[in-house]
Amino acid sequence: MVTPVPLERLKKSKICFVSHNASLQRNNRLVKSLSQKYDVSLIRSLTRHSSNKLLQPNLSSALRLSQVGLMSLVTTTPMFLDILAAFFFPSELKNYVLDYATPLSLELAWLGHRSLSKFVEIQEKFLLRNARAVTVPNELFEKRAYDFGASNVTVIPNYPSIKFNPTLDGLTFRKQMGLSETSRVAIFTAAGRLEEIYGLRLLLESWKIVEERCNNALLIIAGPRNDSEISKSDILQRAKTLNIRNLCVTGYLHNSALPDWINIADVCLAPRTKGFPIEYYDDKDSTKISEYAALKKPIVATGYSFSNQYMLVGQSPEDFAEGILKAFAGTCKFSEPNFWENNEGLLFKTVDQLFEKK
């Protein structure tokens, strides 16, 4: 049994958190949680997502990460880093916790970078084997981590904060936004990579079918992000080409605004592009789905692994449209809320053990 580390000691203990994208919800929550108990310094790493590249160089941060990595060779200061932050400097890292929430080699293969994918898989295995501890969002990643050689894996789902709540009741918000009080509303929260991963074409083609069978149906696309590869005007133009009539595209929304939009939905949508690897993705991994569930909404998903949180349908416009119509008819059960704070204890336990074993 591990003896708890005194809180006064933990507050003095330093952790270096290395992130490829500190603004990602999961990374943001990890940093905030760790900062409650530890002295956390944040470094942005060599790579980050951009609008048209999976990985984009960030040379100044690369130098900083290299310095941190070299320092970790001669100190016991632990590092907490995500998989994208780590893989360019695996041989320099010594005392670290790895957050493994992206099957990077599989995603690269899907995006057409097969040679790079093989190299990255080697790095993934090296990092997982040598990590003092590994955190993952679900049991699907847990199995992959163990299969790749990890020895200590903790599941910490990618749930929203318990503060993820609407500020207005649904009727008031509809009026405020100029939306019909009687429309049957479906919502899709859109960030980036809508074409590659998040099934935008499938969504619009499905919605065309829904409109033909349900006159008062309204699709709301909450987003996309400002640096998305597909803009608000692009989405509206595609919808016009399909003769879609009832569509509201909000443009960029801060995360704090999402609960009010999700709250007015009769059904929430989670499509993924056909062919994208689905075996590691479910409600525990998906920020989108767990935010829907936080407000107890019926969810229709396609391109994910099985979960009791949503109605899982086939990856065709006809199947997805049928799922949406069933949800409008009340045959899709409501999801159950889960929150990040409920799992903070698992995170603290994982890192406390790291200090205890110094």
> Which helix (DSSP H) or strand (DSSP E) does residue 80 occupy?
strand 79-82
Listed range (107-111, 173-177, 269-273, 309-313) with the worst mean pLDDT: 107-111
Sorting pLDDT into bands at 50, 70 and 90, what band is 234? very high
Percent of the chain with pLDDT over 70: 85
Look at 66 and 38; give whichever has higher pLDDT: 38
Residues 6 or more apart from 182 whose CB is under 8 A from it? 216
**pLDDT on residue 71:** 55
Q: What is the DSSP string of 112-159?
A: T-HHHHHHHHHHHHHHHHH-SEEEESSHHHHHHHHHTT-S-EEE---P
Is the pLDDT reported for residue 22 higher than 90?
no
Sorting pLDDT into bands at 50, 70 and 90, what band is 218? very high
> What b/e readout covers 235-248, taking b as 16+ CB neighbours within 10 angstroms?
beebbeeeebebbb
- 348: helix, coil or strand? helix
Instruction: Calculate mean pLDDT across residues 256-282.
Output: 95
Q: Could you give phi then psi for residue 181, rounded to 5 degrees?
A: -75, -20
**pLDDT on residue 144:** 97
Q: Give CA torsion, residues 152, 155, 158, 161, to 10 deg.
A: -110
Residues 323 and 303 sit within 8 Å (Cβ to Cβ): no
Structure confidence by residue, pLDDT tens digits, 94-151: 788 999 999 989 988 888 888 888 988 998 999 999 999 999 999 999 999 999 999 9
**pLDDT on residue 356:** 73
Percent of the chain with pLDDT over 90: 65
Residues 6 or more apart from 35 whose CB is under 8 A from it? none
**At residue 307, what is the residue type?**
S
Partner residues linked to 217 by β-bridges: 184
Segments in the chain forming alpha helices (H):
7-12, 25-35, 59-74, 83-86, 104-110, 114-130, 139-147, 170-177, 200-213, 232-241, 258-263, 287-294, 317-328, 344-356
As a whole number, the mean pLDDT across the chain is: 87
Is the pLDDT reported for residue 75 higher than 50?
yes
Same CATH topology for 7-159+340-356 and 170-328: the answer is yes
Ranges 5-9, 52-56, 217-221, 354-358, most confident: 217-221
Residues 107 and 54 sit within 8 Å (Cβ to Cβ): yes
Task: Output the CA–CA distances (angstroms, integers) from residue 56 to 46, 59, 60, 121, 309, in the order listed.
Answer: 8, 10, 12, 19, 35
Residues 6 or more apart from 209 whose CB is under 8 A from it? 317, 318, 321
Is the pLDDT reported for residue 174 higher than 90?
yes
Q: Does domain 170-328 have CATH number 3.10.20.70?
A: no
Sorting pLDDT into bands at 50, 70 and 90, what band is 56? very low
- Give the CATH architecture of domain 7-159+340-356: 3-Layer(aba) Sandwich (3.40)
Look at 256 and 20; give whichever has higher pLDDT: 256
Is the pLDDT reported for residue 269 higher than 70?
yes
Residues 55 and 62 sit within 8 Å (Cβ to Cβ): no
Q: What's the chain's Rg over C-alpha atoms?
A: 21
**pLDDT on residue 203:** 98
Is the pLDDT reported for residue 320 higher than 90?
yes
Instruction: Calculate mean pLDDT across residues 33-54.
Output: 68
Is the pLDDT reported for residue 183 higher than 90?
yes
Listed range (6-10, 223-227, 334-338, 352-356) with the worst mean pLDDT: 6-10
Domain ranges within the chain, ordered by starting residue: 7-159+340-356, 170-328
Instruction: Calculate mean pLDDT across residues 279-306.
Output: 97
Q: Measured between alpha carbons, how far is 163 from 29 in angstroms, rounded to an integer?
A: 12
